Structure 1
């Protein structure tokens, strides 16, 4: 039996740290890259994908799992474009030229974030008419780049990933909870579907052998944003007070903070993207992911939160 070889970019990130061992458990050999390998990542190739790629990076690779991205609600557009779009096009082209069988690209449902509630979103639903930050805009452009290159590709859009090594969602919620006061648009009444990183990794592995497609992913069970905050606070035994902000007030405050951040260069405490993401509901119809990938989420949002917090406390 021939051992298949996978290339995993962003292997030191939150999803990569779960995907790499899962692939190996499924019998894959893994070639993993990360821009800033840590001390325990001796088998990670230290590659900056915003620079020219090593000529043989994709040689002998069956499937590329492209996870590397700049994921943040704030930052200079050029920095997002360099990794999210330009590097993606460069890598997809290299994979095509090397004869890779499949390119699995991790995108984002942030493309759907608007100032309206969106329930049971499907892959046929339109993205936002105007993206609220450079992250969503450049990830949408990256999807087009992957399609344009012409390699057999699957694009997955996992929503609100929660895991032990998350650097995006959980750390920001934890900082707010540690302050004891959490301002939430509309008091946190909006619905959100958290996705456990282990479910995301399982979907990625399934995508390697499923026909090329585009699929939204989520945990499949909605909680209010307030319920998420309350769960984290209770798990940490931290008293917390929710401060309900009218959505127009939150948007105005975020706009002012973003203006100040343009001068300081520091991420503002609140952005218009964050207000939109936490202030309006988004849920997903997972029928296509089930049919196309043979995948369904197996982990509840409560279990996802507990697993992530327990792992962080154990470190």
Structure 2
């Protein structure tokens, strides 16, 4: 990749007419980002595995799978900014090899498909690469990922930054925290469980999460492209970390049910998850509780967003109660809470 004439980053938000590529535009984050960029007046190209799942109008569609480099060709036209939102979540039936192909190898695969370097390549990773924490984490906290999803996402960061060192590709890493919002199918099960009074805390609900409403994340990702510094990592989170109990209580209030009180000790929850995962594999049905979910609900995943605030001007504006109410209302309006 020739990198001699890479345009410099501009200040402020992305401007209209900016030529952008969004990989993974049928996922929750990529879909919302692509829609926001189209609305801003950018010239948007999306790379998706299944165009039938795409609901973003106004974008040029390219079909391809980052896990299969032969499934799509090189992009001859130049892009000002590339956003890699493609990723494979660590669901109960996803293999480590599948996650390796998309999460670890996919970012460099995408970079190699560019005929000309963009002025910025924003890779959307996850705060989960840090692993469970003992204190508030920032971008300099050593990473100790737990599970294949987090490990492959960290490998994707490392491979892309190594590629950037050799090619000069201006890479910015965005690490979103616990993202939620209307249209997020992965948090729907949590809202349903609370609504149907089938939710139980793990370890008393003392685990810590860092909720981030999708609109704030989309704004933060655009700031990474507009003013982020090449080679830097930025944690994007909501206004503050909260306990799992506080998060679930907000959901209960939003869906008008009593706040849950039942709690399982962590060892019992892990035993239950083992049995339910085995049953899920035998019946080919997703289990209601998994080992990764037990870890998420009982560990510390709280972060500092000071670097993004100071360097990007990032300022999350949707508080937890408002975001949860908007999400619950959208689920209910779509008939998804039955």
TM-score (norm 1): 0.89
In structure 1, distance between residues paired with 2:156 and 2:253: 39
In structure 1, distance between residues paired with 2:120 and 2:45: 15
CA distance change for structure 1 residues 162 and 39 in 2, over 3 Å: closer, same or farther? closer
Is 2:143 aligned against 1:127? yes
Question: Would you say how many aligned residue pairs link Structure 1 and Structure 2?
Answer: 309
Q: Of the candidates 37, 43, 62, which is equivalent to residue 45 of structure 1?
A: 62
Q: Of the candidates 161, 170, 190, which is equivalent to residue 207 of structure 2?
A: 190
In structure 1, distance between residues paired with 2:272 and 2:327: 31
Question: Does the aligned pair in 1 maintain the 2:122–2:174 contact within 8 Å?
Answer: yes
Q: Of the candidates 249, 271, 274, which is equivalent to residue 268 of structure 2?
A: 249
Question: Does the aligned pair in 1 maintain the 2:177–2:236 contact within 8 Å?
Answer: yes
Question: Does the aligned pair in 2 maintain the 1:181–1:240 contact within 8 Å?
Answer: no
Q: Of the candidates 103, 126, 137, which is equivalent to residue 108 of structure 1?
A: 126
In structure 1, distance between residues paired with 2:209 and 2:41: 35
Q: Secondary structure at the match of 1:119?
A: coil
Q: Of the candidates 64, 78, 85, which is equivalent to residue 67 of structure 1?
A: 85
Question: Does the aligned pair in 1 maintain the 2:16–2:41 contact within 8 Å?
Answer: no
In structure 2, distance between residues paired with 1:207 and 1:276: 29
* Larger strand share, 1 or 2: 1
Question: Does the aligned pair in 1 maintain the 2:35–2:56 contact within 8 Å?
Answer: no
Q: Secondary structure at the match of 2:199?
A: strand
Structure 1: segments with no counterpart, 5+ residues:
none
After TM superposition, the structure 1 stretch with the greater mean CA deviation from structure 2, 189-198 or 17-26, is 17-26
Structure 2: segments with no counterpart, 5+ residues:
1-14
Question: Does the aligned pair in 2 maintain the 1:206–1:293 contact within 8 Å?
Answer: yes
Q: Of the candidates 192, 197, 200, which is equivalent to residue 180 of structure 1?
A: 197
Q: CA deviation at 1:259?
A: 4.6
In structure 2, distance between residues paired with 1:217 and 1:41: 24
RMSD between superposed Cα atoms in Å? 2.3
**Map of 1:6 onto structure 2:** 20
Q: CA deviation at 1:107?
A: 0.4
Q: CA deviation at 1:136?
A: 0.7
In structure 2, distance between residues paired with 1:55 and 1:260: 41
